[in-house]
Structure 1
Amino acid sequence: MDNKKKAAAMAAVMQYIKDEEVVASMQSSYAAAQAKTASQPTFINQWGSNGRQAQMHMRNLLQMKSFHGSKLR
């Protein structure tokens, strides 16, 4: 029983170390990708922005109608 606990603890530590290595490699690749995209100018999609704004406005109107009923008319 004691050997099983030791083996489980060692496996858990090894998995933790492996996960830390994966996270570190992902962070370094993410930092490299960010440095690459940071040099490019940002582009704001005006059509997409207008569409999102229209959706938020419609949702606001529907919420006002559903919560307040016809009192606002």
Structure 2
Amino acid sequence: MAEKEKKIAAALAAVNAYLHMEESEAAARLAPPETPPTPPVQQSFWSHSGRQEMMTMRRLIQMRTFTSFR
């Protein structure tokens, strides 16, 4: 009888370990992936100045200040 109880205990332990493994894998799938924080982007003065100049020219063209571009 003791041999049968040992087999049942081993089978229950294996099933319990399998269930815990499945639960941990399911929790890992639901958790968002860990990504390192991105460093802040630093804009140089010259790139900012160039973008500002492009926006100014587009605004002037939209206001039809320059008609020779057509």
**Larger Rg computed on CA atoms:** 2
TM (norm. structure 1) is: 0.44
TM (norm. structure 2) is: 0.46
- Pick 1 or 2: higher relative contact order, CA cutoff 8 A, min separation 6: 1
Counting helix residues as a fraction of each chain, which structure ranks higher? 1
